């Protein structure tokens, strides 16, 4: 995954909260396939508001209008953080103190707040329009004010809390660990492929995603499909990508038809490899989501 890809993920997480839903899962048995350009599916993008719900100017009255809610501070993963009138440094400090005694709820709250402050200094995506850049810069000014007293030590400690949460089996933390990137910073994975920190992060991130996927986490399964398609976190394997895509869509209760799978993977998988991946995906979906 290149820096641009990580930037896309992080930019998506900074918007309205995404729905993120771990017992270690076994790697599915998959047959090898010859690498070839991948066919990417377009992520579904839901509408946040139905235009039909808006009152027309003729029917609207003063009672229809309510005050807009105050601006929300978001963690890097897109979940809102309520500081309760405190600044970020105080909020993090209080929760970090409890987290060091084993309070996992406080650990995640401290992580969330610190991750939002860390994200405020991430490079802006180069694909933003000028209007998007202006709005993002205004929002970042607000975030910088809230985070003005947050120390580098607090930003770094968030990753220790996140690792503790992931090791404790919290699925959200497992996915957050992947989204954070090595050391909690967006990096060019290709340029640092031999960096021990990057290699360790890859192993941990994929292991966490597999554990989350084994508990029917649709987002984790989808990220694994993308990872095997892109070939940056793990060696590229279209059969594995197809297997996890089947399981991810089954977890969403929107199973992929064989025709859809052939359109996406059929050109780069031999008939035998395609059939094996289809069977592996069906088995993985049944094992990960037995109640689906």
Whether residue 98 is found in the same domain as residue 116: yes
Final residue of a structural domain among 190, 213, 236: 213
Rounded Cα–Cα distance for residues 12 and 213 (Å):
21
Query: In this predicted model, what pLDDT tens digit does every residue of 240-253 receive, in sequence order?
Result: 999 999 999 999 99
Give how many domains the chain has, as a whole number: 2
Mean pLDDT of 96-121: 96
Whether residue 199 is found in the same domain as residue 246: no
What tokens appear for 46 in the block? Answer: 């839901």
Compute the half-sphere exposure of residue 261: CA atoms within 13 Å on the CB side of its CA: 30
Mean pLDDT of 287-292: 86
Query: In this predicted model, what pLDDT tens digit does every residue of 205-232 receive, in sequence order?
Result: 999 999 999 999 999 999 999 999 999 9
Quickly tell me which residue has 């860390």 as its tokens.
118
**What distance lies between CA 19 and its chain's CA centroid?**
10
Give me the residues paired with residue 73 across strands: 81
pLDDT at residue 69 greater than cutoff 70: no
| % of the chain residues with pLDDT over 70 | 76
Confidence of residue 52 (pLDDT cuts 50, 70, 90): very low
Is residue 54 a part of any domain in this protein? no
Which sign does the torsion angle of CA 79, 200, 234, 290 carry? negative
Is residue 160 a part of any domain in this protein? yes
Whether residue 126 is found in the same domain as residue 152: yes
| Predicted local distance difference test score (pLDDT) of residue 292 | 62
pLDDT at residue 265 greater than cutoff 90: yes
Whether residue 86 is found in the same domain as residue 157: yes
Rounded Cα–Cα distance for residues 103 and 266 (Å):
49
Domain containing 258 equals: 216-292
Is residue 58 a part of any domain in this protein? no
Whether residue 141 is found in the same domain as residue 5: yes
Is residue 290 a part of any domain in this protein? yes
**Which run of H or of E encompasses 134?**
helix 130-146
Confidence of residue 15 (pLDDT cuts 50, 70, 90): very low
Whether residue 229 is found in the same domain as residue 135: no
Whether residue 190 is found in the same domain as residue 241: no
- Contact yes or no for 50/116 (Cβ under 8 A): no
Quickly tell me which residue has 């976190």 as its tokens.
233
Tell me what the pLDDT averaged over the chain comes to.
80
Query: Which one, of 242, 152, 166, lies nearest residue 206 by Cα?
Result: 166
Final residue of a structural domain among 155, 181, 213: 213
Whether residue 178 is found in the same domain as residue 234: no
Is residue 283 a part of any domain in this protein? yes
Is residue 122 a part of any domain in this protein? yes
Confidence of residue 273 (pLDDT cuts 50, 70, 90): very high
Rounded Cα–Cα distance for residues 13 and 31 (Å):
34
Whether residue 80 is found in the same domain as residue 172: yes
Confidence of residue 59 (pLDDT cuts 50, 70, 90): very low
Rounded Cα–Cα distance for residues 46 and 52 (Å):
15
Is residue 180 a part of any domain in this protein? yes
Final residue of a structural domain among 213, 247, 281: 213
Whether residue 79 is found in the same domain as residue 186: yes
Whether residue 110 is found in the same domain as residue 198: yes
What tokens appear for 53 in the block? Answer: 């719900």
The whole-model pTM stands at 0.73
Is residue 26 a part of any domain in this protein? no
CB-based burial label for 280 (10 Å; 0-12, 13-18, 19+): buried
Whether residue 264 is found in the same domain as residue 152: no
50 or 3: which leads in pLDDT:
3
b/e for 139-176, b at 16 or more Cβ within 10 A?
Answer: ebeebeebbeebeeebbebbbebbebbbeeebbbbbbb
């Amino acid at each position: 995954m290149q820096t641009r890809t990580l930037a896309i993920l992080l930019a998506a997480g900074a918007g309205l909260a995404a729905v993120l839903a771990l017992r270690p899962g076994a790697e599915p048995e998959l047959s090898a396939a010859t690498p070839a350009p991948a066919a990417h599916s377009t992520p579904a993008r839901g509408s946040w508001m139905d235009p039909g719900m808006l009152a027309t100017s003729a029917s609207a009255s003063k009672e229809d209008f309510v005050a807009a809610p105050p601006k929300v501070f978001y963690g890097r993963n897109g979940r809102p953080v309520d500081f309760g009138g405190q600044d970020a440094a105080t909020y993090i400090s209080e929760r970090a103190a409890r987290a060091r005694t084993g309070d996992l709820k406080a650990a995640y709250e401290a992580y969330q707040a610190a991750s939002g402050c860390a994200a405020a200094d991430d490079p802006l995506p180069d694909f933003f329009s000028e209007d998007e850049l202006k709005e993002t810069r205004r929002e970042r000014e607000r975030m910088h004010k809230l985070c003005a007293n947050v120390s580098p030590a607090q930003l770094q400690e968030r990753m220790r809390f996140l690792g503790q949460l992931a090791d404790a089996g919290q699925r959200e933390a497992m996915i957050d660990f992947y989204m954070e990137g090595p050391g909690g910073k967006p990096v060019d994975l290709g340029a640092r492929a031999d960096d021990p920190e990057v290699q360790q992060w890859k192993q941990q991130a994929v292991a966490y995603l597999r554990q989350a996927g084994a508990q029917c986490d649709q987002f984790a399964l989808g990220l694994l499909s993308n990872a095997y398609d892109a070939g940056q976190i793990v060696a590229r394997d279209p059969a594995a990508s197809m297997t996890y895509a089947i399981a991810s869509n089954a977890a969403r209760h929107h199973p992929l038809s064989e025709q859809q799978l052939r359109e996406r993977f059929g050109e780069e998988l031999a008939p035998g490899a395609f059939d094996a991946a289809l069977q592996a995906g069906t088995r993985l979906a049944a094992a990960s989501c037995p109640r689906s």
